[in-house]
């Protein structure tokens, strides 16, 4: 087995020190970078976009890529104290569709690549899309730090280790807990991965994460069920299938315009899969599928529902799903097109 890089063994201590250097008023603040620094205290690779007032409008810029446990300067000092804005989305390498970090302030972004634009009332006129940003009140003109977090809060050092674990899992070489502890099982998985790729034992931590991300993205193309959005609007998708003696429906997975999400992560061994989606119209309403024929239960928020009868009695609502084609070579890519949706919209 290849040796685990020495840098991985010391990654926890390195990031623990990094946590203390950029907080306003901290004794170590003089070592900090000056400006607005954004940190990733999650186990996901995050792409971030920011907004700040300039002249009469808000300039929105993206994307800054943040590895788990890393911090990046997104705006140099001097900062203008007051409201700024922050949005994040997870890398496509991660299973279960993209996770979003935001708030309620609607600003324009380019989902396809780097951008810098003054936000306008109608994003679509510039070929952009609307997202909800989190307001950040910056109170120091020299330095400020903001962090992306998960429900189960992680420290910088735990986020770095958990990020390696999640990427190993997404790449298919680790099936242990994602707990931010680089124990024997995690170190063995790192060693096996390095050996399988012919990588040197002194591969840097950053390179390791980048290579794992690409391995996870490649794996996603070759296994399971993937939904793709071939429209110019955002879609919220769900799926249904037989699970033992029961039917099960699950959702929601966000599909960006032109984007895809991996819905099932293991090889498909059965037919009888069903797909559902609701398209955002931009005015708070949605367009539903017009070719749906098979009823299953859905909910307003994320759901996993066993059974397909009595939806309303169980405080759910019925949705008409579409049967998918059978999988080929244990995988299936199912695409939603504009023609699949009703012209009339309904409140969600």
pLDDT of residue 25: 36
- Looking at residue 307, the DSSP 8-state letter turns out to be -
pLDDT of residue 331: 85
How far the first Cα of the chain sits from its last, in Å, is: 53
pLDDT of residue 347: 56
Domain boundaries, the chain: 20-149, 156-220, 224-347
pLDDT of residue 32: 53
pLDDT of residue 208: 92
- Looking at residue 174, the DSSP 8-state letter turns out to be -
pLDDT of residue 329: 82
- Looking at residue 29, the DSSP 8-state letter turns out to be G
Summarised one tens digit per residue, pLDDT across range 136-145 is: 999 999 999 9
- Looking at residue 266, the DSSP 8-state letter turns out to be S
| Closest-CA residue to 163 (of 196, 215, 209) | 209
Q: Average pLDDT per run of 10 along the chain, which is 348 residues long?
A: 39 34 37 84 97 92 96 94 96 83 93 86 80 95 96 92 94 89 90 91 89 88 85 92 89 88 79 91 83 92 90 92 89 92 74
Kindly report the backbone phi and psi dihedral angles of residue 119, in degrees, each rounded to the nearest multiple of 5, phi listed first.
Answer: -60, 140
**Cβ(186)–Cβ(174) below 8 Å:** yes
Query: What pTM value is reported for the model?
Result: 0.68
> How far is Cα 331 from Cα 218, in angstroms, rounded to an integer?
13
pLDDT of residue 348: 58
pLDDT of residue 2: 39
């Amino acid at each position: 087995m290849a040796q685990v890089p020495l840098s991985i063994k010391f990654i926890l201590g390195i990031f623990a020190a990094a946590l203390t250097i950029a907080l306003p008023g901290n004794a170590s603040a003089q070592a900090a970078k000056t400006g607005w620094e954004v940190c990733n205290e999650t186990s996901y690779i995050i792409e971030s976009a920011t907004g700040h007032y300039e002249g009469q409008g808000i300039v929105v810029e993206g994307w800054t890529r943040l590895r788990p446990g890393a911090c990046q300067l997104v705006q140099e000092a001097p900062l203008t104290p007051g409201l700024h804005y922050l949005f994040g989305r997870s890398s496509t390498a991660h299973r279960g569709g993209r996770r979003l970090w935001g708030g309620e302030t609607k600003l324009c972004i380019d989902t396809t690549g780097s951008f810098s634009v003054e936000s306008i009332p109608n994003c679509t006129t510039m070929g952009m899309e609307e997202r909800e940003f989190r307001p950040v009140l910056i109170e120091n003109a020299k330095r400020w730090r903001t962090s992306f977090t998960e429900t189960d809060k992680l420290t910088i050092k735990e986020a770095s280790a958990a990020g390696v674990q999640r990427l190993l899992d997404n790449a298919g070489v680790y099936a242990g807990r994602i707990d931010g502890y680089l124990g024997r099982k995690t170190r063995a998985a790192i060693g096996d991965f390095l050996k399988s790729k012919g990588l040197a034992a002194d591969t840097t931590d950053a390179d390791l994460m980048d290579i794992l991300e690409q391995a996870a993205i490649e794996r996603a193309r070759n296994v399971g069920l993937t939904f793709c959005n071939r429209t110019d609007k955002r879609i919220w998708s769900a799926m249904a299938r037989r699970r033992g003696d029961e039917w099960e429906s699950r959702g929601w997975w966000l599909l960006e315009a032109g984007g895809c999400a991996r819905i099932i992560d293991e090889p498909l061994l059965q037919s009888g899969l069903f797909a559902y989606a609701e398209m955002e119209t931009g005015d708070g309403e949605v367009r539903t599928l017009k070719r749906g024929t098979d009823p299953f239960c859905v909910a307003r928020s994320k759901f996993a529902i066993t059974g397909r009868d009595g939806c309303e009695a169980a405080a759910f609502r019925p949705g008409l799903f579409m049967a998918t084609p059978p999988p080929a070579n244990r995988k299936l890519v199912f695409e939603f097109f504009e023609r699949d949706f009703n012209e009339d919209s309904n409140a969600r």
